[in-house]
Amino acid sequence: MELPLRPTRLTLRQLAYFEAVVRHKHFGRAAEACAVSQPALSVQIQELERELGVVLVERGRGSVALTPQGEFVAQRARRILGEVQDLMDSAPRADALGAIRLGVIPTIAPYLMPAILGALGSGGAAARIQVRETQTQRLLEELEQGSLDLLLAALPVSSPGIEAHALFCDRFFLAVPASSDIGPRIGSIAAVAPHRLLLLEEGHCLRDQALSVCSAADKDMLASLGATSLATLIELVAAGMGVTLLPELCLPSVHDDRRVRIVPFRGPAPFRTVGLVWRKSSGRKATFRRLGELIADARRSQQRTVAA
């Protein structure tokens, strides 16, 4: 015998408000992000708790903490909101590309986005790309809850409910002060000791990739100075504070900088894989793959221009 469904007053708005509280860890900032008053948001969260029969958040002065039940509901809410967005995206569109909310990590965005937007052309398709730049973990959270449609990031990216599509390999090079005695090629990072290897701060995937490349190096040579961008690392290298690993994507930005010298690896160079990431439930996979082909073509065009 099939039991009737229990009527529910649970709404997508409640889930969206709760997800905002989870993301911002603060009722006031969550309300601002949702463009509602804090009392209105609080009422909706209370209604959600009442409907589910559990306490989702521990309310304190200035901030909130999730209960174990809240952690569980937060994961499900992100998935539900993401699938609702995919349902909306799966409706037929009059245009081929449509609006895409694209998340890009900071070690890719400044160096590849101009080529991508140039390939899309001024206006038209380019105008429909909305770019969000931040670290991988934050982008993944926003992808899962439907705030973003697609990510351009360094692979692998591990998270339930997502798919990844590799586009191209991005080789690593060593950036050293122009006066350094290192080079002209190196066999491994260990060969540059006792120079300090400068790294991005915690949270950047490029830091983790650099640490992987440097696994054989002396730990005393690794130095993290809280740098948040490759541009900052390059300035530190130019000032003689150490050396750093740079992805090939960013080399044109230092091409004319006489303070810095680029040293290639001898033999096969270490590399990262750049690719697109989307939700498994997305109804726009074919569109994303077409965009991936355009991005790969834009990268090849970049490389030909630099080589010339």
Q: Residue 297: its pLDDT value, please?
A: 93
Which residue in this structure is represented by tokens 């790294």?
Answer: 199
Please tell me the distance from the alpha carbon of residue 267 to that of residue 173, in angstroms, as a whole number. Answer: 12
Dihedral pair phi/psi, residue 25, rounded to 5°: 55, 30
Residues 6+ apart with CB under 8 A from 30: 17, 20, 21, 23, 24, 41
From the centroid of its chain, how far is CA 240?
30
Q: Residue 208: its pLDDT value, please?
A: 86
Q: Which amino acid is at 188?
A: S
Domains observed in the chain: 12-89 (1.10.10.10), 100-166+274-307 (3.40.190.10), 169-271 (3.40.190.10)
Residues 6+ apart with CB under 8 A from 261: 175, 176, 177, 178, 180, 183
Which residue in this structure is represented by tokens 């380019």?
Answer: 126
This prediction's pTM: 0.71
Q: Counting Cβ atoms within 10 Å, is residue 76 exposed (0-12), middle (13-18) or buried (19+)?
A: exposed
Q: Residue 162: its pLDDT value, please?
A: 92
Please tell me the distance from the alpha carbon of residue 272 to that of residue 169, in angstroms, as a whole number. Answer: 6
Per residue of the chain (308 residues), give pLDDT as tens.
444 455 567 888 888 888 888 888 888 888 888 888 988 888 988 889 888 888 898 887 767 888 888 888 988 888 888 888 777 766 555 345 578 999 999 999 999 999 998 888 755 666 688 999 999 999 998 998 888 999 999 999 988 889 999 999 999 999 999 999 898 999 887 778 778 889 888 878 888 888 887 765 566 667 666 788 999 999 999 999 999 999 999 999 998 999 999 999 998 889 999 999 999 888 888 889 999 999 999 999 988 887 76
Q: Residue 223: its pLDDT value, please?
A: 65
Q: Residue 281: its pLDDT value, please?
A: 86
Q: Residue 95: its pLDDT value, please?
A: 45
Q: Residue 185: its pLDDT value, please?
A: 92
